[in-house]
A and B are shown apart, each in its own frame.
Chain A
């Protein structure tokens, strides 16, 4: 069959087509788009199925040790969560942990990134060492710091004794437990932010900075008007990752205090874990996780919008 083809000259031309495609080749061409997207569909189903199952469980009364009885209870589990006197405390401690950890990590990470954004022998040595805490599993990191903050044999309290704080309670007091787990989080994850920002710094164009130098702009002016705005997309990405991670933080807190002292560090994840694995109330655990998912989704939606805006601003849009 002849087919029309576009020609480079203005005359319309009709080329005599090569031999028509075989039925197998035609079928393959028809199915190719679907085959190409099939892995991502499988992955999507793989993610969505357990999510849908969690929603389903959260609408029932499901106790693991009573699998024969799973009555539908509608939104009762959610009602129980929102009317629980400890719910607000759970929200508060989850958000406090997140804000504190991310704020400290961002400041320290940015400082580290700037310090490492120089080519010297020292920075070449320090850059790989920076990654070491990131390679430690958070639960192991927490256990290490639990030992190191022991007032009887830990090195941290040994140094604290020089400022008269030999028995600083760290994770064993409600006043200091949050700070303790935040510091462990900072120790492990600051390198993550530093590396992201370092990559960002290294990818910035040099011409604006050269021009600013030639014009005699000071360091602070350059940082405020050039570096920070251009680095903003990277900062937002790093912050978003850390916020999402911190909202779901479990292992550091569980390894350090199991959510104590008392209920001091009972975040969403801790409560959900205990509900599922200690108290065997799967449906209430699912409901808690879904409430956390809503909070996480809302925050990430806002952050992604900011990120898009920052990128558009840089493009001059």
Chain B
């Protein structure tokens, strides 16, 4: 349902003084560990590393500093931009700071916010109609595999590489490489994100790693060890479901939608070294590893999952954890983060990585990346680029992480910042440790191809059949793979 909100609230004088003081203190720190701007090179690689370990002292680029560098932020003063946003705490953090951008650039920003159930339908309608109504929009990486090749989005490389349009503190190398590259794709079906002539369809501004969030009180009560593998999760979930009235063991998504496949399911799937497609773009959901993992997943839901699993979206999964209706969830780490405040389970939520495969101790996690993209139909592309580089820049992302809920940070400097680290350690103990263990092996593990939504929706429907109708797992996955191969051939993607 459309809920247009047209102007950001003005900040009070007290708030302005507070922010300026913070910015002033931050700029002192910046002077101590100055990071010279370098010409952004999108193809350069930087090894992902854990926050707080071997990186240089994190730099803080305050809004005040941004305004005082040589870059002409006021070049597009007087322009008006409109954003299309999804109802999400990341969007809330962005909206709360929009006045800062307006003060810096003189560009006025308005926005529309839609709930996630209908958000991407709205995006599809807006972009496919070639409307210039929206200049920038929130998107996920998977959506860029459709929107990008359709020429609905702008390849941002041209702006990133333009020194006249990109401020020297943008520092594209500060982005966590796995995350930045996940928003880039060449358009060639089967080619991994960030490979070949990958176009940068969007810039990340917040992401989610899939891990286990659990209720520490329940585990303490039953003296349970936090499970790490899928068989352990099944055993623990089944035990809790039997022992606790009005509580089930493990919450996972189950709606008939692509969103059911990408979080916990695909992460565990990857741990079993299963793939969605092989190197020849043939469906691989019926490989022996995939069948083994899927059987366990179905078993997990039946023995310890939510009673109305087929209707569960991320809202239900998260709300149940917060309401004390579930003991664990295998979903986005930020889902547990949001439930750790103002809920029945507040203060009692812990996080742990999942190395689902007992034969492989490595924890792999698929990621969901909220990103900002530029509409190819915008009449204010340069001004929109100003907005994008600000919204994904160090200053705003740091503010979002410290004062808002804009975690997980997509930049090293923000993830390593003492304030961010202190906040997470103090209020969300275990969150950072889980994040650090998962980040080296966290990326998008799907194979980019234009029928992504067909494939994952059919996959979710098949999963539902296996859980609710008791359909044979191997036979169902064989049928799914055959159907997908036919669709890929009909679409001309494979022979």
A interface list, Cβ under 8 A from B = 64-67, 146, 149-153, 167, 169-174, 256-263, 274, 277-280
Q: A273: nearest residue on chain B (CB-CB)?
A: B121
A261-B307 contact given A65-B149, A274-B457, A279-B453, CB 8 Å threshold: no
A65-B146 contact given A258-B257, A261-B464, CB 8 Å threshold: yes
> Lowest 5 CB-CB distances: which A-B pairs, in order?
A260-B256, A65-B150, A262-B465, A172-B308, A261-B310
Is the beta-carbon distance between B461 and A169 smaller than 8 angstroms? no
Cα–Cα distance between A274 and B309 once the two chains are bound (Å): 21
Cα–Cα distance between A150 and B307 once the two chains are bound (Å): 8
Q: Which residues from chain B contact A153 at a C-beta distance below 8 Å?
A: 325
A257-B457 contact given A65-B128, A262-B464, A280-B146, CB 8 Å threshold: no
A261-B256 contact given A171-B311, A172-B311, A173-B468, CB 8 Å threshold: yes
Number of A-B contacts (CB under 8 A): 87
Is the beta-carbon distance between B310 and A151 smaller than 8 angstroms? no
Cα–Cα distance between A278 and B246 once the two chains are bound (Å): 36
Is the beta-carbon distance between A280 and B307 smaller than 8 angstroms? no
Q: Which residues from chain B contact A146 at a C-beta distance below 8 Å?
A: 311
Cα–Cα distance between A66 and B148 once the two chains are bound (Å): 11
Is the beta-carbon distance between A260 and B310 smaller than 8 angstroms? yes
**Does residue B330 face the partner (Cβ distance < 8 Å to A)?**
no
For residue B99, give the distance in angstroms from its CB to the closest CB of chain A. 34
Interface residues of B in 441-463 (CB under 8 A from A): 450-451, 453-454, 457, 461-462
**Chain A CB within 10 Å — which of B256, B309, B454, B462 has the most?**
B256
Which of B128, B149, B325 is in CB contact (< 8 Å) with A152?
B325
Some 21 contacts from A to B, beta carbons below 8 A apart, are A65-B128, A65-B450, A66-B150, A67-B128, A151-B307, A152-B325, A169-B308, A173-B310, A174-B469, A257-B255, A257-B256, A258-B257, A260-B461, A261-B256, A261-B310, A261-B465, A261-B468, A262-B469, A277-B125, A279-B457, A280-B146
- Beyond the given A67-B128, A152-B325, A167-B307, please list 10 additional residue pairs across the A-B interface where CB-CB is below 8 A: A67-B150, A152-B320, A171-B308, A171-B310, A174-B469, A262-B461, A262-B464, A274-B457, A278-B121, A280-B124
Interface size for B (C-beta < 8 A) is 33
Interface residues of B in 138-172 (CB under 8 A from A): 146-147, 149-150, 152
Q: Which residues from chain A contact B325 at a C-beta distance below 8 Å?
A: 152-153
Is the beta-carbon distance between A277 and B124 smaller than 8 angstroms? yes
Interface residues of B in 305-347 (CB under 8 A from A): 307-311, 320, 325
For residue B240, give the distance in angstroms from its CB to the closest CB of chain A. 14
Q: A275: nearest residue on chain B (CB-CB)?
A: B454
For residue B67, give the distance in angstroms from its CB to the closest CB of chain A. 40
Q: Which residues from chain B contact A169 at a C-beta distance below 8 Å?
A: 307-308
For residue B1, give the distance in angstroms from its CB to the closest CB of chain A. 9
Q: Which residues from chain B contact A171 at a C-beta distance below 8 Å?
A: 308, 310-311
For residue A306, give the distance in angstroms from its CB to the closest CB of chain B. 38
Q: Which residues from chain B contact A260 at a C-beta distance below 8 Å?
A: 255-256, 310, 461, 464
Is the beta-carbon distance between A152 and B307 smaller than 8 angstroms? yes
Q: A173: nearest residue on chain B (CB-CB)?
A: B468
Which of B258, B310, B320 is in CB contact (< 8 Å) with A257?
B310
Q: Which residues from chain A contact B465 at a C-beta distance below 8 Å?
A: 174, 261-263
Q: B325: nearest residue on chain A (CB-CB)?
A: A152
Cα–Cα distance between A174 and B467 once the two chains are bound (Å): 10
For residue B481, give the distance in angstroms from its CB to the closest CB of chain A. 16
Q: B130: nearest residue on chain A (CB-CB)?
A: A67
Interface residues of B in 103-136 (CB under 8 A from A): 121, 124-125, 128
Interface residues of B in 244-280 (CB under 8 A from A): 246, 255-258
For residue A40, give the distance in angstroms from its CB to the closest CB of chain B. 29
Cα–Cα distance between A123 and B481 once the two chains are bound (Å): 59
**Chain B CB within 10 Å — which of A67, A153, A262 has the most?**
A262
Cα–Cα distance between A257 and B125 once the two chains are bound (Å): 23
A263-B461 contact given A65-B150, A167-B307, A172-B310, CB 8 Å threshold: yes
